[in-house]
Structure 1
Amino acid sequence: MQTLAFDGRVGASGDMLLGTLLSLGADRDVLTAVEDELDVAYDIHTVTDCGIEAIGVDVRTSTGDHAEHNHHHHRTYTEVIDVVEEMDVPADVRSAAIEIFQILGEAEATVHGTTLDDIAFHEVGADDAIADIVGVALLLDDLDVTRVLTTPVAAGGGEVEMSHGVYPVPGPAVTKIAERATWEITTGPVDRELLTPTGAAILAYYADGVDTLPALDVSTTGYGAGDHDLSPRPNVLRGLLGQSDQTLRSDTIRVLETNVDDVSPEVLGSLQETLIDAGARDVSIIPTTMKKSRPGHLIKVIVKPEDVPTVTETLATETGTLGIRDAGVTHRWIADREYETVTLPVGDDDYDITVKIARDQSGTVYDVSAEYDDALAVARETNLSLRSIMQRAESTVNEE
């Protein structure tokens, strides 16, 4: 699998991502579609930072000025989407750019207490942001990358001056974007903004988070240069491109646990459904032996970070437990799942059954499973065995 891994120890910005992808071998010519539409130019140059040769990218207007200083190009969210939709770029690139701007827009709208339609981009609304986002999407498409990963991304430290005031780093929009990302942010290593909203939104859309660089058969290494002097640290974003055997997707979760020894079987029996309804992704109830050899149960709950408050309250209310352990943020590797409805003829009637299909990142199907409730309803109505109904539904999908 063609995998791109970013090393986020000095943060990320749109121009650094552009430079990294160009350094990895992406074709500069694919960017002409953006230059023609926006009347801008990508100033691509080589720099050496603390002994590291990197590609620097500046977006300039037809007058030669940097695009972010050309204030009449600031646009609302709706205007930005209109510009992107009119670009002569592949449909997948256009769709990715629109979703990235939606991530930016929703973050800004939440921070400022307004709606997406009413948000007016400031720092991220200029033509250079459009050029950064669409440019990255074009270069990734050119590299034919199957999967993008990033290690924890450094946000920097100190304060950042924005159009509405001075804020501690990371800025409000960056922290809001990080809430939805699967990667983690860290502070430092310098008192300067290292992770920009544009860089955060691009990574939030494309990249799965990993704790360390993965096992990778590296074919190319590239460096994208940042604007600031961070000596003695090189201000460069490193990217590694190569083949990876990892075919599952990383998912950020938290694991909650509690031990109980006085909960009735009836409550335990309904607990899985109750916790799933509250937002849990999986629930395990394991018989165990507690102090003084009393029989009890260990309840383990897998949950997305944003659902922890609701799930913990439900778990405490339902069981009466006096304490719930939180293992903190961790990751699991999961398959991509899709659902297909198949029609089974039985006698003179047809019955619909939902079948879950599990695929890895390369698209290979490795599990097909009929939904239990659907199959059970058909089995009861037809007086056939549950196993035969499930096997027939799964075989229908496998034969397609």
Structure 2
Amino acid sequence: MTSIAIIDSQISGISGDMLLASLVDAGANERRIIDAILACQNFLKGSKIESVRFSKTITHGFSAMAFSLDYTDNTRQRRGMDMYRSLAACCDSLDLEQRAKVFALECLKTIIVAEAFIHGEDTNHVYLDETSSVDTFADLIGCAAALQDLNLFESRILSTKVAVGGGTVTFSHGTVPNPTSAVLEIFKGKHFILAGGQVSEEITTPTGAAILVNLASESINHYPTFTPLKIGYGVGQKIFDHLPNILRFIIGGSSLASEAYSDTSCLIETTLDDISGEIIGNLIEQLSAGAVKDVIAIPGIAKKNRPTHLIRIICDHANLNNVLMTLFSETGTIGARFQEIQRLILPRSIVTVPVNISGYDFNVRVKISRGLNAEALGIKPEFDDVKVIASTTGISVKRALELVSAQITYKINVG
């Protein structure tokens, strides 16, 4: 059964402590996490952790796990790269797998890059303020250890829409609009859907945003087809009047084959009957150069027997507006239909297979697709490699494809 996890932050946003609490509530080893967090103080000069606690609490009638960290820190800001080196040393001192260490470091790097861009500084020299204290290390190390403990680094991790709140935020640089520039910069260019949420406060923090973009592979509007197995509830520190400040972390499984999965995409369609084939070809080139998953033009006959083309585009929801803008500007069409669709994606892999054609040795890239029972459904050589073989040996591309296909099929099926 394929492991799927969903980070549900569509109501109360996400912070490092909320996610960490939800992971412990979902079954991560509490003692192991606490020991890892306590090690953080040894790598940030001037910081001392007084206590680390996970405790069940009730908020708005819902039971959830709370994470509490009491510490002292006599340093108000630290250089980002100094923190990066300290975090790397902390990871090395712990029993963390390489992927857990890389995850923690990439999260901190995401924060550093965002802060450097905002303040117009080099990443080697930018200083961190609110994210420079030991609680940032605690969130990153704690989450890395918890994800490792739950064996979630091999899982397909999804994110709902992310509530970011509204209003203003006051911190070391003054009062700024919420979401803060750091949060927006972290999400910029990523495939996540942001929503204001129901409160006029900061409910998604830079640390929470950095963890999310380095953990979740895609953003969803609706839960996929899966079986929930464990649910963790992590409560934040703020108390709101009308909603529980809770993040949900759901761990489940899919009955599909181990590498097959489904995703939610957008299907866009429009009918064009008054533009040339060159314009349609250019449209396909423009869209293919972007982030669309597929684009095709289907010829047909429309009303009044007019020749027409149905343009069909598949893209992520996060790219919907950009794709529509390209469609309208490149074609002049005055409308388009779009809807959410579910796609089942079978497992596939690309391998390199050695072949000998006409006495010459070649390495050919081969795409192998498999069914739900792991049986090989398709074995397709890379056409560019086949053309190189044809050019080198002097045989036709058709003959080269036949010879290559015969050899790779035998080697893959027989060994």
TM-score (norm 2): 0.80
Aligned residue for 2:14, secondary structure, equals coil
Task: State the alpha-carbon separation in 2 of the partners of residues 313 and 60 from structure 1.
Answer: 52
Equivalent of 1:204 in 213, 217, 233? 213
Equivalent residue, structure 2, for 1:76: 79
Aligned residue for 1:26, secondary structure, equals coil
Which one-letter code corresponds to 2:178 in the other structure?
Answer: V
Q: Percent identity?
A: 29
Deviating more after overlay: 2-11 vs 362-371: 362-371
Tell whether 2:8 aligns with 1:38.
no
Equivalent residues in 2 for 1:1-400 (5 A)?
A: 1-8=2-9, 9-31=11-33, 32-39=35-42, 40=49, 41-61=51-71, 65=72, 70=73, 72=75, 74-86=77-89, 87=91, 88=93, 89-145=96-152, 146-207=155-216, 208-245=218-255, 248=260, 257-265=269-277, 268=280, 272-273=284-285, 275-277=287-289, 280-303=292-315, 316=329, 321-323=332-334, 325=336, 327=338, 334=345, 339-357=350-368, 368-379=379-390, 381-383=394-396, 384-393=399-408, 395-397=410-412
Task: State the alpha-carbon separation in 1 of the partners of residues 231 and 350 from structure 2.
Answer: 38
Task: State the alpha-carbon separation in 2 of the partners of residues 73 and 344 from structure 1.
Answer: 62
Task: State the alpha-carbon separation in 2 of the partners of residues 256 and 334 from structure 1.
Answer: 19
Cα deviation for residue 295 of structure 1 reads: 0.1
Q: Confirm or deny: 8 A CA contact 2:190 2:213 kept in the other structure.
A: yes
Deviating more after overlay: 347-356 vs 71-80: 71-80
Relative to 1, partners in 2 of residues 1:349 and 1:272: Cα closer, same or farther, differing over 3 Å? farther
Gaps of 5+ in 1: none
Cα deviation for residue 79 of structure 1 reads: 1.6
Relative to 1, partners in 2 of residues 1:358 and 1:194: Cα closer, same or farther, differing over 3 Å? farther
Relative to 1, partners in 2 of residues 1:43 and 1:235: Cα closer, same or farther, differing over 3 Å? same
Cα deviation for residue 315 of structure 1 reads: 8.4
Relative to 1, partners in 2 of residues 1:74 and 1:151: Cα closer, same or farther, differing over 3 Å? same
Q: Confirm or deny: 8 A CA contact 1:346 1:382 kept in the other structure.
A: no
Task: State the alpha-carbon separation in 2 of the partners of residues 365 and 48 from structure 1.
Answer: 51
Task: State the alpha-carbon separation in 2 of the partners of residues 360 and 15 from structure 1.
Answer: 40
Q: Confirm or deny: 8 A CA contact 2:168 2:177 kept in the other structure.
A: yes
Cα deviation for residue 130 of structure 1 reads: 1.5
Show CA shifts across 1:330-388 (max 9, x none): 88665676543332111310123222355899999865432223224424633425244
Cα deviation for residue 249 of structure 1 reads: 5.5
Relative to 1, partners in 2 of residues 1:273 and 1:225: Cα closer, same or farther, differing over 3 Å? closer
Q: Confirm or deny: 8 A CA contact 1:76 1:121 kept in the other structure.
A: yes
Aligned residue for 2:185, secondary structure, equals helix
Relative to 1, partners in 2 of residues 1:356 and 1:163: Cα closer, same or farther, differing over 3 Å? farther
Task: State the alpha-carbon separation in 2 of the partners of residues 362 and 147 from structure 1.
Answer: 19
Relative to 1, partners in 2 of residues 1:178 and 1:171: Cα closer, same or farther, differing over 3 Å? same
Cα deviation for residue 116 of structure 1 reads: 2.7
Q: Confirm or deny: 8 A CA contact 1:288 1:296 kept in the other structure.
A: yes
Aligned residue for 2:67, secondary structure, equals strand
Aligned residue for 1:239, secondary structure, equals strand
Task: State the alpha-carbon separation in 2 of the partners of residues 361 and 57 from structure 1.
Answer: 41
Show CA shifts across 1:166-220 (max 9, x none): 2222222222223344332211211211111111111111123222333443333
Task: State the alpha-carbon separation in 2 of the partners of residues 212 and 254 from structure 1.
Answer: 13
Task: State the alpha-carbon separation in 2 of the partners of residues 136 and 75 from structure 1.
Answer: 22
